[in-house]
Amino acid sequence: MAEVGGQNVIEELLEAYPEKARKERKKHFEINDIEKISTGKCSIKSNVKSRPGVMTVRGCAYAGSKGVVWGPIKDMVHISHGPVGCGQYSWGTRRNYSNGVLGVNNFVAMQVTSDFQERDIVFGGDKKLEKVCREIKEMFPLAKGITIQSECPIGLIGDDIEAVAKKMTKELGIPVVPVRCEGFRGVSQSLGHHIANDSIRDHVLGTRDLNEPGPYDVAIIGDYNIGGDAWAARILLEEMGLRVIAQWSGDGTLNELAITHKAKLNLIHCYRSMNYIARHMEEKYGIPWMEYNFFGPTKTIESLRKIAAFFDDQIQEQAERVIAKYKPEMDAVIEKYRPRLEGKKVMLLVGGLRPRHTVGAYEDLGMEVVGTGYEFAHKDDYERTYKELKEGAVIYDDPSEYDLEYLAKALGVDLVGSGIKEKYVFQKMGLPFRQMHSWDYSGPYHGFDGFKVFARDMDIAMNSPVWNLMQVPF
Amino acid sequence: MAKNVEIKDHNTLFQSEEYMKSAEKKMEFEAPCSLEEVEDTAAYLKTEEYKEKNFAREALTINPAKACQPLGAVLAALGFEKTLPFVHGSQGCVAYFRSHFARHFKEPVPTVSTSMTEDAAVFGGLRNLIEGLENAVSLYKPDMVAVSTTCMAEVIGDDLQAFIETARNEGAISKSFPVPFANTPSFVGSHIVGYDSMMKSILSYLNGREGDGEKMAAEAAEKINVIPGFEPYTGNIREAKRILDLMDVRYTILGDHSDMLDSPANGEYRTYYGGTKLSDAAYASRGKGTIALQKYSTRKTAKYIEENWGHPFIAGPIPIGIRNTDALLMRISELTGKPIPQSLKDERGRVVDAMTDSHPYLQGKRVAMAGDPDLLLGLISLSLELGIEPVHILCTNGDKEFEEEAQRLLAESPYGLDGKVYVGKDLWHLRSLLLTDPVDFAIGSTFLKFAAKDANIPLVRVGFPIFDRHHMHRYPIIGYQGTLNLLSLMVNMVLERLDEEAPGHSFDVVR
C-alpha cells in the first residue's frame, strides 16, 4: 500500500474495519504515481456495492433519475411514484435553475407524488397512477409531458407502469414516460442516470424536428444548471458563434430533448451521468461528442479551443476573441484571490465530474488537490482523473464518513469540498468546507462568470475570521 | 488586497442584458407556450373554479406537508446517548434523511443503512443486516443501535426480530448489545408515526434492562419523565429543561436530541453528543409520571406507557401560548408537588405584557397555517389568545381526531369562527385557498414559501423543515419564552410589512 508523508495512511485507516469489510474497502484506495499520471491506468475498484452499515455518502437510482437527470426538465411534471418521502427529500434541493412560472409552465421546484398508502402496496398502484396522470393534466394544463419516477415499492410489487404510461400517452395526448429508477437498483445514483438516459432515448429523443438546422448547432449535455451553471456555459458557446439547440437537462425542455439528434456536436460536461446518450446519438445518428471542462479559466480556455477546433476558422477566431475578452478579467480575479489561497491543500468527494474537473480551477487559485474521489464513479472516470492530479494524491472510491474524517486529518488538508451530509462534520473540526454539489446555495461556478463566484466562495470559506474562534482561550 | 473585481452571482448575473438575450434565444428551441397562454393559465390557477377542481382531486398529491416514517425514527434514535440510527433498506433513503436533517439543523447526522440492492430484494436483507451491524458497531462504536425499516424492507417482509437474533447467534454483535427496532413503512402515516414507533420501541426495549439496581430505582422514583415528541426545535428541549430546573424538578427527558443536533464547534468532531442516558431510560418507568409534550406524535408510546408503567401519563397540548404553558406547569406541579416559582410567574407576566404591547397589530389579522398536528394546535391556541384569526389550517398528516380537536379549539373563541381545518390536504390545496380567500400572513415550513409568494403574503417560518432561514430551531417556541419568540416573529413581520407598504405620510417612526 502506498505511503503519504512516510505514513501508511490507508493501512492505518482500514484498521478500524472488521476483516471482511477491510479486505473489500482496501481495493477502493490508491495513491497517484508517475505511471498512472502518464497512462491513466488504475486498478482502483469502483461501481460496486457499498458495505452495509458503513456510512456511505451515496444515494440511489431514484436520486440519479429524478434528482439529477429528469427533475430539471422544466415543462414536464415528474411524478415521484410511491411513498411520500423520496419526493419530499429531493424537493428543490439541487437548485436546478430554470426560467418560467412555477406551477404554470415550469414544474421543477414542485413535489408531485402518488403518495402511496398501504392499500396501494396491497392492491397495486396502476389504477391510482392513471388517475394521477389525468389529474396532472387537469391541474397543470400547460404541462408538456409527464414522467413516472419509480420508487422502491413499484418494482417490488410488480406494477406495470409501462402499460399505464402507454395508455396515458394516448389518452392525454402528451408523452408519459415510465422510468424504472427504483432506489434498490444498482449500487448508487449512477444506474439511475443510465436508466433515465435510456428512457429519454426510448420515448423522447428523435421524436421532433429542428426548424432550419445550422452548421454550428451543438447541445450541452450533462449540465444541470446548478445556480445557473448551464447559462454561464451557454453564453460562452453562443459568443463564439455556436448555436445551442438543447440543454440537458438544467433549464431543459421536452422539445430540446426531442430535437437533440439534429445537433452537429454534443458537448458533454458531466460525462458520468450522460455519456450513455451521447454514445447512443453517435451510433444511431452519427453525432460526434466531446468532453469539456468549464471550471476555472485554464480549463475553460483549453475547452473553448478544443471545441472551436471541431469547427471552422471563423469559430476558432471568435473563440480566441472570447478568450481575449475575458482573460484580463480572469487575471484580475486570480491576482486578487491567489495570494489569499496559495498553497492551500484541498480534499474533495463529490459525484459525477467535479472530483476531477475542479482540480484545474483550484490550481488556478494556487491551491492543490491532495485527495479526491467519487461517490459513484466507474472505471472510465478514474482513468480520466489520475492525469489531472499531482503525484502522491490520494484517490478513494465510495469512502465512508469515517474514511473522509481520517484522511482529512492524516493529509492535513485546509479545505474540504463535498456535500451537505459531510459539511458540518468538517466545520466542527474547524476545517473550511464548501458544498461542491450545490455550491452552498451560491453559484454559478461554470464558465468565466462562474469562476469569479468560485474564487470568491473559496476565499470566503478559507479566510473567514470565524475559524480563529474555535480555540477556547481559557 | 488587489484591486476590486466586480462579482455578480445568480441573484443579479442572470438579470443582465446578455443573459436575458441568451434566455430569449433559447426559447426558439423550447417550443414554449405563448405568453398569452401562460398569463391566462396563471390567472385561471387563481380562480374559484380551479380551486374546486383542485379540491376534487383524489389520487394526485402536490407539495405535501409531511415526510415519511423512517425519518421520524431516525430523530427518535438520535435522542439517546451513543445511539446509532440504523435503517434497514436501500441506502438512498438514509442519504435523504441525513441531508434533510442536516439542511434543517445545520448539523451532521450520523445514520447508517444496510444498503440493500436487487439481490436483497430477491433473497431478503438478512446478510445485509448482519454485516451491517458488524461494520457499524466496529466503525462507529455505538452503545446502542436503533433499527428502523424503509418501504423496501417492509414490502419484501424482512423479519427484524429474527434477523437481529441471527446476527447475535452469528456473533456479529454480542448477545447483550441493545438493538431496539421498529417497523416504519413509508407508505403508512408520516414522520410523526415513525418517531412514535421508534420511541415506543426504544423505551419498551430498555425498560428494566439494567436489572434491579436499587440506587438507580430510588433515584428514578424522584423523577418525572418528559417526552418531547417529533421536535424540530433543539431550543424547545432546552427550554423544557430550563423550566423543569426552575421548578426544582428532577427529570429525565426521554429522547433528548438537543445536544446531538446543536453541538459546539471547537475543532473536534465527535459522532455522538449528549442524549438520554440508556440507564435513565431503563429506569424511567419507576418515575412519578410521564408527560409527553406532544400528543399526536406519541400515541403508541402513550399506549405503551399507560398500559405498562403504572404511573400517571399526560400528553399534550404542546405548551405553545400562555394557556397551554400554564397547563403544563400546573401538571408538573401536581405530579411532583413542587410549587410554580415566582420566577416563572414573573416570566409569564413579562410575556403577557409583551402581548398587550403587540396585540393591536395582530388582532383581527387573518392567518393561514400548515404543519404537524401538535404544532398546529399550539399555534391555533396562541393565535386565539392574541385575537389573530386562524382561517386556513392545513394538516397533511392530520386525522379525524385532530380535526375535531382543532375545531373544538376554534369554537371556543370568537376569533376562531372563520377557521376551517383541512386534514389530508397538501400545500397546493392551501395555495388555492390563499388565492381565493386571502389572509394577511402564513405560518409554516420553508415549503410553504412558494404558495405564500404566489399569494403575495409574508411567511412566518415555524415548524419543519426550515431550510432557508438560519438558527430558527435554536430558539424555543414552547413555554413562555417560546411564546415570546413567536410573538416577536409575528408582530415584527407585520410591522416590516407595514413599513414596506406604507405611503410616505404613514411611514411612522414609532409603531
Mean pLDDT of chain B: 97
pLDDT number for residue B213 = 85
C-beta atoms of B136 and A153 within 8 A = no
> What residues of chain A, 314 to 353, have a C-beta less than 8 Å from chain B?
329, 332-333, 335-336, 339-340
Alpha-carbon gap, residue A436 to B398, rounded angstroms: 38
Segment B259-295, tens digit of pLDDT = 999 999 999 999 999 999 999 999 999 999 999 999 9
Segment B18-51, tens digit of pLDDT = 999 999 999 999 999 999 999 999 999 999 999 9
Sequence-ordered strand ranges (E) for A297-355: 345-348
Cell of A306: 478544443
Distance (Å) from the alpha carbon of B210 to chain A's nearest alpha carbon: 27
Contacts of B64 in chain A (CB under 8 A): 84, 88, 111, 113, 115
**Interface confidence (ipTM) of the complex:** 0.97
Is residue A99 within 8 Å of A125, Cβ to Cβ? no
Q: Which amino acid is at B132?
A: G
Cell of A363: 490550481
Is the C-alpha dihedral spanning B68, B70, B72, B78 positive or negative? negative
C-beta atoms of B155 and A157 within 8 A = yes
Alpha-carbon gap, residue A221 to A315, rounded angstroms: 20
Q: What are phi and psi of B370, to 5 degrees?
A: -140, 145
> What residues of chain B, 418 to 457, have a C-beta less than 8 Å from chain A?
428, 431, 447, 450, 454
> What residues of chain A, 217 to 246, have a C-beta less than 8 Å from chain B?
227-228, 231-232, 234-235, 238, 244-246
Alpha-carbon gap, residue A236 to A242, rounded angstroms: 9
Alpha-carbon gap, residue B128 to A187, rounded angstroms: 13
C-beta atoms of B131 and A329 within 8 A = no
Alpha-carbon gap, residue B260 to B275, rounded angstroms: 7
Segment B52-102, tens digit of pLDDT = 999 999 999 999 999 999 999 999 999 999 999 999 999 999 999 999 999
Q: Is the minimum CB–CB distance between A123 and chain B shorter than 8 Å? A: no
pLDDT number for residue A7 = 55
Alpha-carbon gap, residue A374 to A190, rounded angstroms: 11
Segment B465-503, tens digit of pLDDT = 999 999 999 999 999 999 999 999 999 999 999 999 999
Q: What are phi and psi of A221, to 5 degrees?
A: -115, 130
C-beta atoms of A184 and B98 within 8 A = no
C-beta atoms of B135 and A187 within 8 A = no
C-beta atoms of A53 and B135 within 8 A = yes
pLDDT number for residue A1 = 44
Does the pLDDT value for residue B120 go beyond 80?
A: yes
Contacts of A142 in chain B (CB under 8 A): 33, 37-38, 41
Best to test chain B binding among A428, A467, A471 (most B CBs inside 10 Å):
A428
pLDDT number for residue A5 = 56
Q: Which residues of chain A have pLDDT under 50?
A: 1, 6
> What residues of chain B, 263 to 292, have a C-beta less than 8 Å from chain A?
263-269
C-beta atoms of A421 and B4 within 8 A = no
Alpha-carbon gap, residue A65 to A237, rounded angstroms: 27
Best to test chain A binding among B91, B105, B126, B473 (most A CBs inside 10 Å):
B91
pLDDT number for residue A6 = 47
pLDDT number for residue A4 = 59
Segment A100-144, tens digit of pLDDT = 999 999 999 999 999 999 999 999 999 999 999 999 999 999 999
Does the pLDDT value for residue B5 go beyond 70?
A: yes
A396 alpha-carbon distance from chain centroid: 18
C-beta atoms of A420 and B99 within 8 A = yes
Best to test chain A binding among B12, B103, B139, B155 (most A CBs inside 10 Å):
B139
Q: Which amino acid is at B427?
A: L
Alpha-carbon gap, residue A93 to A435, rounded angstroms: 12
Q: Is the minimum CB–CB distance between A399 and chain B shorter than 8 Å? A: no
Task: Please give the DSSP secondary-structure letter assigned to residue A49.
Answer: P
pLDDT number for residue A275 = 98
Distance (Å) from the alpha carbon of A6 to chain B's nearest alpha carbon: 25
Does the pLDDT value for residue B2 go beyond 90?
A: no
Q: What is the pTM of this model?
A: 0.98
Cell of B389: 384569526
Contacts of B1 in chain A (CB under 8 A): 336, 340
pLDDT number for residue B502 = 96
Alpha-carbon gap, residue A431 to A462, rounded angstroms: 9
Of A16, A426, A430, the CB nearest to B138: A16
Contacts of A400 in chain B (CB under 8 A): 139
Q: Is the minimum CB–CB distance between B167 and chain A shorter than 8 Å? A: no
Q: Which amino acid is at B456?
A: N
Segment B397-436, tens digit of pLDDT = 999 999 999 999 999 999 999 999 999 999 999 999 999 9
Segment B426-463, tens digit of pLDDT = 999 999 999 999 999 999 999 999 999 999 999 999 99
Cell of B238: 432546552
Q: Indicate if A86 belongs to the active site.
A: no
Q: Is the minimum CB–CB distance between B122 and chain A shorter than 8 Å? A: no
Does the pLDDT value for residue B136 go beyond 70?
A: yes
Among A42, A51, A60, A230, the one annotated catalytic: A60
Q: Is the minimum CB–CB distance between B124 and chain A shorter than 8 Å? A: no
Of B135, B185, B454, the CB nearest to A52: B135
